[in-house]
Structure 1
Amino acid sequence: MSIGLGEAIYAAVKPVLKIYVIIFVGFLLAKYNLATVETSRGISNIVVNALLPCLTFNKIVSNISAKDIKEVGVLVITALLIFVTGGACAFITKWATKSPRQWYWGLLFAGVFPNISDLPIAYVQSMSNGSVFTSAQVDRGVAYCCIFLCTQSFLMMNFGLFRLVGLDFREPEKDPEHGLDSESSNSASNPELELKSDSKTIAVPRATHQSWLSDRMKSNHHRSVQTEYSNTEARHSNSNCSEAEETCSLGAPSDAIESLSSDSNYTTYSNLPHNSRRASSSSRSKAPVTTPIPLPRSLHKTKSGNSMFSAGSASSRSRKSGKGRRSSQTMQDVINEYSAANRIKSGEMDLTRPLSLTQEVGEANAFSGNNSDSDGDSENSGLDYESTHGSHRNDTPTKKLSRHTSASSKTEKTSKITRFVQKYKLGWLVYILVNFCRPASLGALLGIMCSMIPWVKALFVHTYVHVHQAPDGQPVLNFLMDFTGYIGNACVPLGLLLLGGTLARLEIKSLPPGFWKTTVMMTVFRLAVLPIIGTAWANKLYDIKWIENDVAKFVVILTWAMPSATAQVYFTAFYTPLEGSHVQMDCLSVFFLSQYAVLFITLSVVVSYALKADLKV
């Protein structure tokens, strides 16, 4: 069937219009604060853990079989070629435009990984009206898109390439006057990080001493929150330590203080000299100087990993914003929600081990008691709650003994495996295998295995293999296909809504000089040069019979024309500290806004050319 040029252009533009309308709705939901950052993160976890596995399993089992293994291999090779070519373009852009050093690895990540999840699937599904592709061809095209998506997901999560983004955060910012790191200059002048005095020293964790010092200098409300959790009788912000006492008004037991001072993992701090306290007591306008007492990790962090003493939550800011609608959240709220920089710096989160398997961006390590309510966390944190605050748990000695016994038995069981892994340096293999337990990876793996085994696939869909059917004439496990198809249909619309919300929260505070050159050049590479290379590659594959149907050729061309993956926003927020400049996020915001501003034009041109010149529809 042949269509005219105008009809081909309209067929190329119509899916883009639908996609942009959905993105715009997500943009409005975020701007009017109807979809908050917390809500969006919950929806994203639902998409990753439930909807996406169902979609990939359903489309792969329904449309791919053992005879298509050559095309599957070609698609995987094509995906790898896309990643390598995009990375090369990013490297050329870095060399030619002198892009900022703080966003070197972020630029490479943006060049390597395109958005080959929601956008191409939504585009292919929008062409099921029969003018270009039939409904069966569209389903097959979605299955091909899922192969691309699985390849990228395996590299990004299973092989840990998302950690490329974090390489930009390895070095702290330089002091513009002295050319030294702010932290290194402090440590150089005071390497032991101690306050010398004639009073006893109190040890606090080295990794979080800065946050505690800043918390103690904040408002009286912060001090009241800290004293409430410390379970002492110091209930007022103007309470003072008596001159005869060697401990502060927070009431830390002396034996706990001495035990903390002997721990090598803690940095010692001293109370200020008594003379300075006498001088300060004469002035009622000054707040008394008290020594910070270490708090458990669960009191410094909420469940989402944000500081309890940070400046106001998004909801509180929204309530104070005015009489009208609540103010929309910004990228700072995204950073507050996703940031794990403090936990990474303190060693609480180990990036060489798999992160939580049920999160798009993990909040803790998988299979470890890093949750605030776990027993292992409180026992292994180096500081027990009762030792700091003098409180007592309700557990009986028998319960404590049984818990310790079970923990030691588990340690004995895992010690042999751990020693074997360490001896042969197989940590990388364990990392990959554990990440295959992610729901998205499991959905793809199960789908590929079931589709490649004919008699297993016959249990789900009709094939040339004869198996007994259910009473309704359908395969025995066909109800699972109905289930996965019904659930998976919600994946792409929700993904596009989340994309719109992400774009709505992008903001630009400051940019390095000349960064516009990097943005323009990389946008041209991603949306103009790479589609040309992709079209030539698809035609070559079709000519040598490595791909033999039109929809596979179309999906290959379409995938080369995609912008950068928006998941990089959340990976960047994951590594971004709560305080300080956010130059990486500012660069990324400009990068995405420029790409999606011109994607409407470039994608329409690429698809129109592909339909008329390559597919000859």
Structure 2
Amino acid sequence: MSLSLGQAIWIAVKPIIKIYLIMGTGYLLGRYNIFSVDGTRAVSDLVLMVLMPLLSFNKIVSNIDIGDIKNVGIICLSSMLLFGAGLLSALVVRKILPVPREWRNGMLAGNMFPNIGDLPIAYLQTLAKSSVFTPDEGNKGVANSIIYLTVMMVCVFNLGGFRLIESDFKYRDEENDLHETKNEVTSHSKSTSTASPRQLVEEDIEDEEMVADLGASVADLPSLPAEPSPSTVISSNGHSPDKMVPIPLTNANRSRRDSHATYSSSHHRSNSLVSTVRSIDLRRTRAGMNELVREYSHVDRFGRRRTLSEDSVASDSTGIPFAPIALANQTSTLTRILTTDATISSKDIKESGRKLPKRLSKFPFANHIVFFFMNCLRPCSMAVIVSLIIAFVPWLKALFVRTPTTVDMHQAPDNQPVLSFVIDFAEYVGAASVPFAILILGATLSRLKLSGLYPGFWKTAVTLVFLKLIVMPIIGVLWCWALTKTGWVSWEDDRMVLFVTVINWSLPTMTATIYFTASYTPIDATETIQLDCIAFFLLLQYPLLMFTLPTLVTYVLKSNMHL
């Protein structure tokens, strides 16, 4: 078939319109906090643990066979070249342009790993409904994209690519912090001891006014059950009431005691309404970068993994306690690896080999090897591994689907393969993966805000975006041309693997860099330089992508595919 230039442009632009409509919906839901941060996190985990593995299983088993082993190898080779080109270009830019010291390695990760998962799949699924590709070709392109995604996940998780982002964070030293705290306490004690009686009285009056205001605000809340008696409270703190010695109360002491009791009662009443008040307030306020840190951060100011006891007393800027879902430090390393994507750290690599016998743990890189295989158990990685094994073994594949390459086997009563219901289940549920992923992308972009930029960093970011979205696609086209010249593939027989390869060279930074950066940011951080840099870098890319990707696809359709 032959396409006019106008037809080719429309075919290339139409998928972008659909993607940005979904992304815009997610942006609005996130902007007005209808799609909250914890909701985004929950749906993201659902996509990674259930939806994407099922989509992978369905597309790979149904559309990949033993004849595609060569293409799988080409995908792995192209992925390594893609990541290497991104790394090299970022190193050059870092050498000649200003980059904040706190984002020198995060910049490398941001330029290395593109958003291979949802964007190319959504693009291909739309093209499969046009006259350019058949539905079978579209499904095969989706399967190729999933294999690309798996290779990237191996580089990010199994091989420790996340450590590039983590290495930018320099946490405070505990001993120095303790020394500073002691000095602050000493200076405060001195100032209190030298204060005049008049100043102390004024402070008491201010405290009483603050408590009165707090009591008035709490009085507006619904009534609650009576608080436990003072004796019960004392007993719960580990002190026996019988051993308490009564102390005569002066007027000042009585005033302080009454103020403390009023504050304590008000504090307990307000805490008991956390679930109600928080659910209302979060819907009224717009979420931002602080909410991302609060949800994903799993370290304190010293870089230690935060404990549940610390989170029980933590609170946000409104004074409402919180306990982020991201804190899974009470569970095993394997459990956290399997159930989340952004809370792993270098400490997990060190802890991976703890249960190895002493003889094995002495081998070089023993921890890294164990960590590598533990990450292979991630649902998406495991789904791809199992799917490829089934796809490459004809008699196994025949249990699920019937294709010209499968062997003849006994069929079910409906004349379908015996396990075809598994494919039906995976196809039905996995179809929700891409729309949800793009909604999450839009909601995440809505929360990116800039508190400040490093002087001259805008030049670095603009240069990186130019290289990533304009120069890299040109290199991708040249790489596909080189593959065809070697005779490994051709546009006539292998056009889907070539088309997917070209698209992947033109994609923006993966969204997970935001989650990784937030997870390594201390919950009480006053400066978020790393988040500001990656946010600015991402926000520059998506407006430009609306023009660069359709332009590239139009060129490929007319020049390489001769349509």
**SS in structure 2 of the partner of residue 586 of structure 1:** helix
- Which residue number in structure 2 is paired with residue 396 of structure 1? none
Structural mapping, 1:593-612, within 5 Å: 593-612=539-558
Distance 2:136 2:115 in 1: 24
Contact between 1:318 and 1:326, CA under 8 Å: does it hold in 2? no
1:568 aligns with 2:513: yes
Shift of 1:356: 3.5
Contact between 2:86 and 2:468, CA under 8 Å: does it hold in 1? yes
Q: Deviations over 1:21-79 (max 9, x none)?
A: 00001111112222111111111111111110011111111111112111100101101
Shift of 1:501: 0.4
- Which residue number in structure 2 is paired with residue 319 of structure 1? 280
Structural mapping, 1:502-513, within 5 Å: 502-513=444-455
5+ unaligned residues in a row in structure 1: which ranges?
A: 173-180, 197-218, 222-230, 237-247, 255-277, 289-307, 371-413
Distance 2:401 2:82 in 1: 33
Contact between 1:232 and 1:251, CA under 8 Å: does it hold in 2? no
Distance 2:180 2:340 in 1: 42
Structure 1 residues 114, 364: closer, same or farther in 2, change over 3 A?
A: closer
Distance 2:400 2:380 in 1: 20
Pick the aligned partner of 1:433 from 349, 361, 373. 373
Is the deviation greater in 491-500 or in 433-442?
433-442
- Which residue number in structure 2 is paired with residue 163 of structure 1? 163
- Which residue number in structure 1 is paired with residue 304 of structure 2? 345
Distance 2:181 2:11 in 1: 68
1:115 aligns with 2:91: no
**SS in structure 2 of the partner of residue 361 of structure 1:** coil
Residues matched between the structures, number: 480
Q: Which amino acid aligns with 2:507?
A: M
Shift of 1:510: 1.4
- Which residue number in structure 1 is paired with residue 419 of structure 2? 477
- Which residue number in structure 2 is paired with residue 589 of structure 1? 535
**SS in structure 1 of the partner of residue 86 of structure 2:** helix
Structure 1 residues 415, 23: closer, same or farther in 2, change over 3 A?
A: closer
Contact between 1:531 and 1:606, CA under 8 Å: does it hold in 2? yes
Higher helix share goes to which structure? Answer: 2
Is the deviation greater in 463-472 or in 88-97?
463-472
Structure 1 residues 78, 346: closer, same or farther in 2, change over 3 A?
A: closer
Structure 1 residues 587, 233: closer, same or farther in 2, change over 3 A?
A: same
Structural mapping, 1:375-454, within 5 Å: 417-425=356-364, 426-454=366-394
Structural mapping, 1:236-385, within 5 Å: 251-252=237-238, 284=256, 316=277, 319-320=280-281, 326-342=284-300, 344-345=303-304, 349=329, 354=334, 355-362=336-343
Shift of 1:341: 1.2
- Which residue number in structure 1 is paired with residue 127 of structure 2? 127
Shift of 1:331: 1.6
- Which residue number in structure 2 is paired with residue 494 of structure 1? 436
Q: Which amino acid aligns with 1:440?
A: C
Identical counterparts, % of pairs: 37
Q: Deviations over 1:545-602 (max 9, x none)?
A: 3223212111110000000001111111111112221111111111111001111011
Distance 2:50 2:540 in 1: 32
Q: CA RMSD in A?
A: 3.8
Distance 1:249 1:515 in 2: 58
Is the deviation greater in 441-450 or in 350-359?
350-359
5+ unaligned residues in a row in structure 2: which ranges?
A: 188-209, 215-227, 241-249, 261-269, 308-328
- Which residue number in structure 2 is paired with residue 516 of structure 1? 458
Shift of 1:314: 10
TM-score after normalising by structure 2: 0.77
Shift of 1:158: 2.2
Distance 2:160 2:516 in 1: 12
TM-score after normalising by structure 1: 0.70
Structure 1 residues 582, 366: closer, same or farther in 2, change over 3 A?
A: closer
Contact between 2:397 and 2:406, CA under 8 Å: does it hold in 1? no
Distance 2:527 2:183 in 1: 27
Q: Which amino acid aligns with 2:435?
A: P
- Which residue number in structure 2 is paired with residue 550 of structure 1? 495
Q: Which amino acid aligns with 2:363?
A: Y
Distance 2:2 2:391 in 1: 33
Is the deviation greater in 349-358 or in 159-168?
349-358
Moved over 4 A (4+): 183-196, 231-236, 248-254, 280-288, 312-318, 346-354, 363-367
Structure with larger RCO (C-alpha < 8 A, sep 6+): 2
Shift of 1:360: 2.6
**SS in structure 1 of the partner of residue 467 of structure 2:** helix
Is the deviation greater in 553-562 or in 422-431?
422-431
Shift of 1:347: 7.7
Shift of 1:86: 0.5
Distance 1:169 1:7 in 2: 49
Distance 1:351 1:523 in 2: 39
Structural mapping, 1:135-150, within 5 Å: 135-150=135-150
Distance 1:234 1:575 in 2: 43
**SS in structure 2 of the partner of residue 161 of structure 1:** coil
Q: Deviations over 1:264-310 (max 9, x none)?
A: xxxxxxxxxxxxxx9x969949998xxxxxxxxxxxxxxxxxxx99x
Contact between 1:116 and 1:149, CA under 8 Å: does it hold in 2? yes
Shift of 1:612: 0.8
Q: Which amino acid aligns with 1:136?
A: D
- Which residue number in structure 2 is paired with residue 455 of structure 1? 395
